[in-house]
Structure 1
């Protein structure tokens, strides 16, 4: 009988051959430092390994270890429960969810917000529920945006990364194409989708210019603030920093990065939120966000808005960027994400290994996550790193870079 299964061993061997195989390496705590197990998925060798500094986390404000955030999660678990127990539309809607959504809407300058079980679910559910005829998508948008376009069965037009002029040209081409085909382009619904901060390049989308193009052609704009929420003006994202709340129809983000929790959100008009809670399948058919996660995110957002964590983060970013560039490393981006571009994947792996040997965790990012020839180390400080931590990171990169022959 023919074997109609799957050659899993062959797939794994191919990954190994091309230096693409990844493995889990559990850590004892999520913070600016911790003890890591060997990448085998085994028990944590807490007593057998040295403590390492973490410069690869999305825990940008260091709030996973904040007592106020942890206390909020504990209180929600004790008073509301450890899980929502059902879809929000059944019995899983709680006051903890409503408090989080009220604060998100206030921070994002919108009428309402809606919490999802993940940022991935927020993107996929929103795009699919809107059912746009055409989506204009930045070429480096997150996989959840790409999958949302596929589920919506939308025609997707990809424009050059962070290039508002190319977006403008694609919009114009769409109008000209409709005219040639004897159609009225006004009959189509158009959605422009972009991340605000791109997680692998550290670049920031030119949102004002994107809004200009959208308004000229009557399109809506959807911005994923996953790597920006909590870090900019009053705890908002790039949309808030640039004062674009009235020009961006849909704002999304996650609760799992700067907000130190789990889940995602969408913020916009009351009509948008009502449509999503009825039509977004990833919301309707998912158990509601766990109350402790909602409470932790709500408290983290409060701390981000009213504390000094944002200022400490940006000070660390400036110090680290200056140090890496002064050594001769090429550092991309305009945000808290500092990709140290190496080029060759094997050199990137060697640099990451050398840094790790010096008790600094900053893994190599290589194809297929990034294009061939652009392998890099994604370096990310967090607010709770002190000055000595930043210096230790820089010294590790200096020594490892010299050892690998990159400096």
Structure 2
């Protein structure tokens, strides 16, 4: 049967076919009710502007938003506070006027512009690689890269981001999950596969986040590289939560001096750089392979040129300005204040997971903080393991000393009300 006859029925039986198809529909009301019962249903909650403070509103559906008073936003990944910076808006507007508001096509057709090439040159210089390639999102970069590499086996940290997990699934590779941030567990998994499988001609890929978004900890990249190299495997590192925060705009790979040992560096432009898109950085051959075979790149319209122009300006600010230093000062004051109250704060980065433990207590704490004008969500199972519910704080370089004091005062009052302090 042809494609047309299967998808374009005609004749007297059309309505009959349609009626039968309805018997095989989807009970989405039941699915939503199930999520509601498990406390997992979420709603869109608009903000009136992107920045350290904003007015919020309950999901208005199709109605005008009913804005609250200004709230202190501590739930953003805009770590350098650049998303609302007028310099990025000016760069985006200038690029839109010079190049266009959209790429207009896949970059392999006519969507490849000077804005994309300039950004990729700057990213390659920052990541200390031969080339870089920009994708429409970090998610697309992960899925596109892993599937295009088409490994026989992927060795993945158990807490890797969902986009890495989906890339592994779509690649069809055997997924070997190793214990979080454990080079010993990685070695054991590789040793076991080498023993149990005829792996002579296999391609192996070790994939890890550098900074983990829910725990705020850092992968031991040098030790992971040692393990991978001993088995001839490639290493891919997702720097989504690290790009732009370290010397010269780099990430953990640059901080640790590992640019020449990590085969695939990946990240986003939408977190510390405050814009939109994702990127992959590596050698010339890697980039040429990806732009030819990564379906998320080949079959997507190119990143909007204004986003590329804004990202380039943001990267310049991260490399040349004092935003990272300002961020670490805010983070240090916030962490010290919370720990002085008796809270346990996980990690070692700009992400501050305030461990609560019990799901109900975490939700109650988040509710009290919300009443105090603080936007800081409760993270609970299944996103994190049972018994480790938490409030995930993400201070930014745009927060002031007064903002930190307001945050700490709210945590002290809310913690006392909930019985955590």
Q: Same fold by TM-score, threshold 0.5 exceeded?
A: yes
Bigger radius of gyration: 2
Give, in angstroms, the shift of residue 148 of structure 1: 0.7
Is residue 59 of structure 1 aligned with residue 78 of structure 2?
Answer: yes
What does 1:209-228 align with in structure 2 at a 5 Å threshold?
209-228=223-242
For 1:403 and 1:237, locate their aligned partners in 2 and report how far apart those are by CA, in whole Å: 39
Q: Which residue of 1 aligns with 2:90?
A: 71
Secondary structure of 1:251's partner? strand
Q: Deviations over 1:303-357 (max 9, x none)?
A: 0000000000001111111111111111111110001111121111110110011
For 2:109 and 2:38, locate their aligned partners in 1 and report how far apart those are by CA, in whole Å: 48
Secondary structure of 2:195's partner? helix
Q: Which residue of 2 aligns with 1:329?
A: 343
Q: Which residue of 2 aligns with 1:5?
A: 25
**TM-score normalised per structure 2:** 0.93
Q: Deviations over 1:76-111 (max 9, x none)?
A: 111111000000000000000000000000000000
Query: Paired residue for 1:263, among 267, 273, 277?
Result: 277
What does 1:22-61 align with in structure 2 at a 5 Å threshold?
22-41=42-61, 42-46=63-67, 49-61=68-80
Q: Which residue of 1 aligns with 2:11?
A: none
Unaligned runs of 5+ in 1: none
| Matched-pair contact (CA < 8 Å) for 2:178–2:185 | yes
For 1:305 and 1:296, locate their aligned partners in 2 and report how far apart those are by CA, in whole Å: 14
Q: Which residue of 1 aligns with 2:208?
A: 194
For 2:225 and 2:274, locate their aligned partners in 1 and report how far apart those are by CA, in whole Å: 30
Q: Which residue of 2 aligns with 1:248?
A: 262
Give, in angstroms, the shift of residue 40 of structure 1: 4.3
Q: Which residue of 1 aligns with 2:109?
A: 90
| Matched-pair contact (CA < 8 Å) for 1:254–1:264 | yes
What does 1:329-348 align with in structure 2 at a 5 Å threshold?
329-348=343-362
Is residue 157 of structure 1 aligned with residue 176 of structure 2?
Answer: yes
What does 1:149-188 align with in structure 2 at a 5 Å threshold?
149-178=168-197, 183=198, 185-188=199-202
Q: Deviations over 1:362-403 (max 9, x none)?
A: 011112221222111100100010100001001111111111
| Matched-pair contact (CA < 8 Å) for 2:59–2:65 | no
Secondary structure of 1:202's partner? coil
Secondary structure of 1:65's partner? coil
Secondary structure of 2:175's partner? strand
Runs (4 or more) in structure 1 with deviation over 6 Å come to none
| Matched-pair contact (CA < 8 Å) for 2:60–2:66 | no
Is residue 371 of structure 1 aligned with residue 396 of structure 2?
Answer: no
For 1:237 and 1:248, locate their aligned partners in 2 and report how far apart those are by CA, in whole Å: 12
| Matched-pair contact (CA < 8 Å) for 1:37–1:43 | no
Give, in angstroms, the shift of residue 6 of structure 1: 1.7
Secondary structure of 1:252's partner? strand
For 1:11 and 1:267, locate their aligned partners in 2 and report how far apart those are by CA, in whole Å: 40
For 1:80 and 1:161, locate their aligned partners in 2 and report how far apart those are by CA, in whole Å: 44
Secondary structure of 1:376's partner? strand
| Matched-pair contact (CA < 8 Å) for 2:236–2:265 | yes
Secondary structure of 2:200's partner? helix
| Matched-pair contact (CA < 8 Å) for 2:158–2:179 | yes
Larger mean Cα displacement after TM superposition, 101-110 or 348-357: 348-357
Larger mean Cα displacement after TM superposition, 167-176 or 253-262: 167-176
For 2:149 and 2:411, locate their aligned partners in 1 and report how far apart those are by CA, in whole Å: 46
Secondary structure of 1:104's partner? helix
For 1:375 and 1:336, locate their aligned partners in 2 and report how far apart those are by CA, in whole Å: 19
**TM-score normalised per structure 1:** 0.97
Q: Which residue of 1 aligns with 2:220?
A: 206
Query: Paired residue for 1:128, among 125, 147, 157?
Result: 147
| Matched-pair contact (CA < 8 Å) for 1:31–1:64 | yes
Query: Paired residue for 1:239, among 245, 253, 263?
Result: 253
Give, in angstroms, the shift of residue 3 of structure 1: 3.2
Secondary structure of 1:335's partner? coil
Secondary structure of 2:241's partner? coil
